[in-house]
Amino acid sequence: MEELVLKSTVKVAQMDELTEEERHLVTLAIEGTNRSYAPYSHFHVGAAILLKDGTTVIGCNQENAAFPSGICAERSAIFAAGAQYPDQPVKMLAIAARNENGELQEDPVSPCGPCRQVIIETETRFKQPVRILLYGKKHVFIVDGIRQLMPLSFTEF
């Protein structure tokens, strides 16, 4: 029997170490947390996408009493971008979250399983990785492609 070792690379940075473009996208994701509708979990998530042409799209989680009829911030942004700009590849995605007290999370939060699969589909569709910025007040995790967070997937590009 062989053993398969999977490695992921995640960079850890401070906000002032990000590029201006990255800081702007994180700021939009933080703004998205204020648009969230989360009366059940009280966990407000915002996501912002930068498309290849420079267009930005903001998403946020939208909960519903008829669970699982709601949608996560990441998927709301990706699906809105796909509906409005179907031919534009996603270059970068930033994610931020606030807790039930309205405070930004100290540590970064990462996408759930279904969101990871949607990001994989996006990378596969456009045949390029999506740079992911996971914001926390203490630091920002930078991931160069979703496969760093989910190395075994249904599709490859």
Q: Which residues are tagged catalytic?
A: 74
Beta bridge partner(s), residue 121:
none
Q: Which residues neighbour 154 within 8 Å (Cβ) at sequence distance 6 or greater?
A: 117, 120
Beta bridge partner(s), residue 143:
132
The interaxial angle of helices 20-33 and 73-84, nearest 10 deg, is: 110
Question: Distance (Å, rounded) from C-alpha 76 to C-alpha 90?
Answer: 14
